[in-house]
A and B are shown apart, each in its own frame.
Chain A
């Protein structure tokens, strides 16, 4: 076990339940590296839903809420409302965040609640055996689309941008250094941060979508297909070549929801104190 693992992992839960060569373990390590650099482990509070990637937070020695499928974001909102001093991070997958929990993502982003959503995108429902997900590419053959997927894929970053998230990034497990930097920025960002991570799943995505179950092949595929392009006006061109744009797309400051609530309470109390009680 490397020193980072010795310091921050729950030893009683090891080994990781991830398959050999899964990107989720790399994300655990990258996140712990960012937390170690910032020294904010005691301020963290995590939430997670259901799926492979929801297990990322479970192995860290941090307070965590493991909740119903797709409901990790509402649980995080509740946590942030009651414990505003904690840095709330949600680990979720593409099925958890874009399919069953899609509505929660929209409204958490719209309200600009101070939390970080880490969405691990492996382009398939991996834990349940390789069924089609909203993020599966058109034409892919999966267990539930044996003649090819005819549905267009959903792009989480575009949704987060449109819904009003104030920090949006996408990286892959082949870009660990910029990913660690983005984690640090997100943990310090006041507002809703959405980080999508393209991750390799050799067992399901690799075997059924890409044609090889080798972890090396899958990581190389991500390296070849994730292109740094931070200008949204050029995304169509990149996507038409079959590539995935990655980078830090947006980082702006806007009024945060919990601060606005406190400000409103203060204002109403002052008005009532002046005798304006209705």
Chain B
């Protein structure tokens, strides 16, 4: 199963619509207290350990600001 290493939200363009929070099946996002450059409250990926890198938040973000970086698989036979 894939895990996420990092979820990046571009603070220059985020409009805080929270569709990522709504669409996420793993309950990764919560409304945060930091404001984007456009003065909207941004979501925070606070439960990143739940993320399964399904890409739904990326494809449903209306401002294309979300990027999910998957963890690279460990080589087991080393």
Contact = CB atoms under 8 A, between A and B. Distances in A.
B65 A1 contact: yes
A30 B55 CA distance: 13
A2 B62 contact: no
A20 B15 contact: yes
A2 to B, nearest CB: 5
Specify the main secondary structure of chain B where it touches its partner: loop
A25 B63 contact: yes
A33 interface: yes
Nearest to B17: A21
B12 A15 contact: yes
A1 B13 CA distance: 8
Interface in B28-64: 38, 40, 58-64
Interface string A1-32: 11111000100001110111111111011100
Nearest to B37: A15
Given A1-B10, A9-B64, A219 B19 contact: yes
Contacts, number: 72
B18 interface: yes
Contacts of A20: 15-17, 40, 62
Contacts of B64: 1-2, 4-5, 9, 25, 28-29
A61 interface: no
B2 to A, nearest CB: 17
Contacts of A23: 62
Given A9-B64, A15-B12, A215 B19 contact: yes
A167 to B, nearest CB: 23
Contacts of A25: 61-64
Contacts of A266: none
B69 to A, nearest CB: 10
A5 B13 CA distance: 12
Q: How large is the interface on A (under 10, 10 to 19, 20 to 34, 35 or more residues)?
A: 20 to 34
B3 interface: no
Contacts of A15: 12-13, 15, 38, 63
Contact of B61 (A19, A24, A29, A33): A29
A96 to B, nearest CB: 20
B68 to A, nearest CB: 9
A258 interface: no
Contacts of A30: 59
Contacts of B67: 1-3
Contacts of A24: 62
Given A1-B10, A9-B64, A176 B59 contact: yes
A26 to B, nearest CB: 5
A188 interface: no
A30 to B, nearest CB: 7
20 contacts: A1-B10, A1-B13, A1-B64, A1-B67, A2-B67, A3-B67, A14-B13, A15-B12, A20-B16, A23-B62, A24-B62, A25-B61, A25-B62, A25-B63, A26-B60, A26-B61, A33-B59, A176-B60, A215-B22, A219-B23
Interface of A: 1-5, 9, 14-16, 18-26, 28-30, 33, 176, 202, 215-216, 219-220
Interface of B: 10, 12-13, 15-19, 21-23, 38, 40, 58-67
